[in-house]
Amino acid sequence: MNFQDVYTLQQALDVAPPPRLITAQDRAEHAERQRRLLITEEDEQAMTEWRRRHPKDVADEQAYWAEQTAKRRAKPLDRRRQKAVALSQCETVENGGQSIFSANDSRWDDMWLDTSDQTSKDDDDDDDDDWE
């Protein structure tokens, strides 16, 4: 049931009909779910209180994650730049010019970097494969 004015487990229990428990297993599963829900609510209350008492820690954590997000978003831009430099050097050599890379320079491999944009700006999962 979805009620707009119910915010806690106790309020939900007050307005909901009693559960239809048929077997002992049903009763045990229901009791386990109720216990987990109670633990979750207590955890949320504890975290709310902790955030209220330790605003500097909250700010530090937010700053850390903002920095991590910025680093993750900068990585594709850096890869594109590396690939562009490698491709321009390849083109220079093909046109008879002198490259700034030596013959065995690992930067030549950058021309094979995958720079396709497969993530969105809102993607916060850091599941990139680092094959560097």
pLDDT tens for each residue of 58-116: 999 999 999 999 998 888 888 888 888 888 877 877 777 777 777 777 776 777 666 66
One DSSP character per residue, 74-115 reads HHHHHHHHHHHHHHHHHHHHHTT---SS-TT-GGGGGGG---
Find the mean pLDDT for residues 15-32.
82
Report the Cα–Cα distance between both ends of the chain, in Å, rounded: 51
Predicted pLDDT at 1: 53
Contact of 89 with 100, CB cutoff 8 Å: yes
Predicted pLDDT at 132: 42
Q: pLDDT by residue (tens digit) across 34-48?
A: 999 999 999 999 999
Contact of 127 with 79, CB cutoff 8 Å: no
- pLDDT > 70? residue 127: no
Instruction: State the residue for tokens 């500097």.
Output: 56
Tell me which of 92 and 125 has the higher pLDDT. Answer: 92
Q: What is the pTM of this model?
A: 0.43
Find the mean pLDDT for residues 4-33.
83
Non-local (6+) Cβ contacts of 113 within 8 A are 79, 82, 83, 86
Domain regions of the chain by residue span: 19-53, 55-112
